Structure 1
């Protein structure tokens, strides 16, 4: 049975602008979070629509590779859902579905991350380190966009 873990991050960037980065300009992560993300390559589709597949090279303690498919996009409510289906993450988690939703909040936004996962076995740790990464990249992207 899948487990869901969530975090919320308050940022100063307007919701439309932050959402646009994750929908249409994800390679900006290479600039704002270069310590973590080394490359993002579109391997199927346009990289911006449902069904598109992207290959991520990133560092989370050690170098990792992940292939993700965009599962759902809702421009009105601003959630995007991805599933990781190939790579290092799948050695530890049989299901790894991630969603980000960006909500308007005053002059800024509330970024909601949700991770639905199934551990490959009981010895696998809860993916707290991934949630910490998502919080960190949210804050780094916020700072990057506010400087631009």
Structure 2
């Protein structure tokens, strides 16, 4: 039984290089989330604060986004913020993602590139699928990469 349960639990991660500084992209995903829909209109259509203060641990936000050809919704809470390491962790509470996963935790860390301008964005997803038929969230990970690139282009255009 324990073996069956463990096959439902997974971790998937990737990195993407961007031109923006770690601080700028981290700030966008923490304190300026409400700017993401205008900075990434291809993917994100809305961001609404439900609880707490934007950019603070415990704050709850609902996202309206477009993924896999469909309009979707996700409610998430900030679990932790590490400004020194430009890292933030979110827990998905409700929405389309939770139709397939019992739990879903997203960690984003943005680090400086070594020896050159720009940053490396590291996306880390920890999840538990509701059953074996549910796919691993590769398309969600690719979605995160594409949003990162679009936000980077927006941030670079502001400089």
Match of 1:122 among 113, 132, 142: 132
TM-score for the superposition, normalised by structure 2: 0.90
| Corresponding residue for residue 3 of structure 2 | none
Determine which structure has more spread, i.e. the larger CA radius of gyration. 2
Q: Which runs of 4+ in 1 moved over 3 A?
A: none
| Corresponding residue for residue 57 of structure 1 | 64
1:45-124 equivalences under 5 Å are 45-60=52-67, 61-105=69-113, 106-124=116-134
Superposition CA RMSD, Å: 1.0
TM-superposition CA deviations, 1:73-99 (whole Å, max 9, x none)? 011111100010111111101111001
TM-score for the superposition, normalised by structure 1: 0.96
Residue 21 in structure 1 maps to residue 28 in structure 2: yes
| Residue correspondences, number | 148
TM-superposition CA deviations, 1:104-139 (whole Å, max 9, x none)? 113111110000011111111111110110110111
- Equivalent position SS for 1:47: coil
Runs of at least 5 residues in structure 2 that lack an aligned partner in the other structure: 1-5
Deviates more, 1:133-142 or 1:16-25: 16-25
1:132-147 equivalences under 5 Å are 132-147=142-157
